[in-house]
Copies of this chain bind each other. A is one copy, B any other.
């Protein structure tokens, strides 16, 4: 079994660095010239033949230079790549874009996604998870006008949802408030899964016989929960992909954009990834579960508040992406989100 000696590593790194920035297959001459190995192209050629045999690089056709294979990128990401930092300008730009007041998690994610795609020049995604384990913080029923009320649900993960309901015109605001308080007392502190028949019974008994107010409100609550529950996906910068030669083919483009249109699929994908620990996950080409993503790489991470995973953010680009920069951006934004969410929920974020 051949091993990667130091020189092979350096050559591999040269090839990948070069290919990432030019998108052209890199030949032995280029490697010998650009990076001062003090070696002739012939020697490099021998080494490259070895690297190809080991599966790190491949030739698109006989008389072309080499391009990295998925395995090559994998090795690069794990061992070769040097970590980079966002530039001061980039950080300033992020700060200025995100300076506006944000008061709901989903707005925050939208912005984060926009900023990430702007910085990386790739496509970025942000998803809220299926929040089965969110804890209800506040439930309120507020009169809007005669016969209409608004049910509002706030969770500990920062989501605020509301649902308009119709109620009997005879219900007085005072009674509505009374009922609202009952709902709040009985439901707040529970996770969504913990709302079951016994709890509803309790509320029913407390309210008394005014059945025609219980059901509309309950429906409203359920509706809010469904909204919270449903994983939303924010996508930004799909157009960026048009700037990369790997997508200059219309069919490739169609495949990619078609995939990006399937929000539910992406949501599920991101939520699966959110199972992982809090680190950054990189899936390269074929490593992706989705067949159509085999020419793309995905860099994702999750962010938590306390112990709760609040969501996943990520960047998707061609396998030939600038991993180092994307990694830096994703990491930066992750921390940024955690900060903002803490601001949003107050320091008193209740860890379960």
Contacts and interface: CB of A to CB of B under 8 A. Distances in A.
A137 B142 contact: no
Given A223-B101, A239-B257, A154 B144 contact: yes
Counting every copy of the chain, the complex holds 2
Contact of A160 (B145, B162, B250): B162
A264 interface: no
A278 interface: no
A185 to B, nearest CB: 12
A143 interface: yes
Given A145-B137, A148-B346, A346-B147, A104 B164 contact: yes
Interface string A237-264: 0110010000010100110011011000
- Which A-B residue pairs are the 9 nearest by beta carbons? A140-B142, A103-B164, A138-B144, A242-B254, A239-B257, A103-B163, A144-B154, A239-B261, A160-B162
20 contacts: A103-B162, A103-B163, A103-B165, A103-B223, A104-B162, A104-B164, A137-B144, A138-B142, A138-B150, A150-B154, A152-B152, A160-B162, A166-B346, A239-B254, A239-B257, A239-B260, A242-B253, A242-B257, A248-B250, A253-B253
Given A166-B346, A248-B250, 8 more contacts: A103-B164, A144-B154, A150-B152, A160-B162, A160-B164, A164-B344, A238-B257, A239-B260
